[in-house]
Amino acid sequence: MTETDPHALFETWFAEARASEPNDSNAMALATADAMGRPSVRMVLLKGHDDRGFVFYTNLHSRKGGELAQNGHAALLFHWKSLRRQVRIEGPVEAVSAAEADAYFASRGRDSQLGAWASDQSRPLDARATFEARFDDMSATFADGEVPRPPHWSGFRVVPEQIEFWTDRAHRLHERRLFTRAGTGWQEGLLYP
């Protein structure tokens, strides 16, 4: 039977990717654009997904954080080479709740937590030693307890308006299933390869 709920289909494909991809099956390309429409793209990690959308976390002062503040739309791309599949997702972004951000931050390794405090992500760095010294300072600052979530660190949820499932086929005769948000449900169609 063909799956007609794109979130359920994504979960099926994602489970298969976790079993077959050698590294970071949750890696996704995140495309953003600034207020002038100039795009940028980078790899981030999916940290949660459900019917509400697809979640990732970042420094809010990073380039992507600034671009999302200026232009609240994004696109995601999962490419699972071992499965010869892709999933493309487009839609507006919304901030995760403070409770969601706190819970995820608390689950991170201590060094990753300290790195979130030490890094001015996306800003120029004069030398690696500067960052390492800041990391050491944060290690000393929080030596006696838990590392709280920095106020400039949180997450975003991409709320899908479109989800495309691409399957590789011989002779470039690929299959492309497009799900488009229609009220509270989804409309499904096909795209030419």
Render pLDDT for 128-143 as a digit per residue (tens, 0 to 9). Answer: 999 999 999 999 999 9
Using DSSP's 3-state secondary structure scheme, residue 143 falls into coil
- Statement: residue 2 has pLDDT above 70: no
> What is 6-107+151-191's CATH number?
2.30.110.10
Taking the C-alpha atoms of residue 67 and residue 150, their distance in angstroms, rounded to an integer, is 20
DSSP lists the bridge partners of residue 41 as: 31
- Given a cut of 50, whether residue 145 has pLDDT beyond it is yes
pLDDT at position 1: 41
Strand-pairing partners, residue 89, are 76, 163
pTM given for the model? 0.94
Please state the separation of Cα 151 from the chain's center in Å: 20
Contact (CB, 8 A) for 32 and 138: no
Distance (Å, rounded) from C-alpha 27 to C-alpha 44? Answer: 6
Dist CA 21 CA 193 (whole Å)? 24
Average pLDDT over residues 85-105: 98
**Which residues carry out catalysis?**
172
Helix 128-141 crosses helix 110-118 at what angle (to 10 degrees)? 120
**Residue-averaged pLDDT of the chain:** 96
Residue 101 banded pLDDT, cuts 50, 70, 90: very high
Distance CA 91, CA 76 (A): 9
> Closest Cα partner for 64 from 115, 27, 30?
30
At 22 the pLDDT is: 87
Of the candidates 155, 171, 165, the one whose C-alpha atom is nearest the C-alpha of residue 186 is 165
Closest by alpha carbon to 49, among 160, 189, 153, 185?
160
Q: Mean pLDDT, to the nearest integer, of 65-70?
A: 96
Q: Please tell me the distance from the alpha carbon of residue 156 to that of residue 185, in angstroms, as a whole number.
A: 22
For the chain, give every domain's residue range. 6-107+151-191
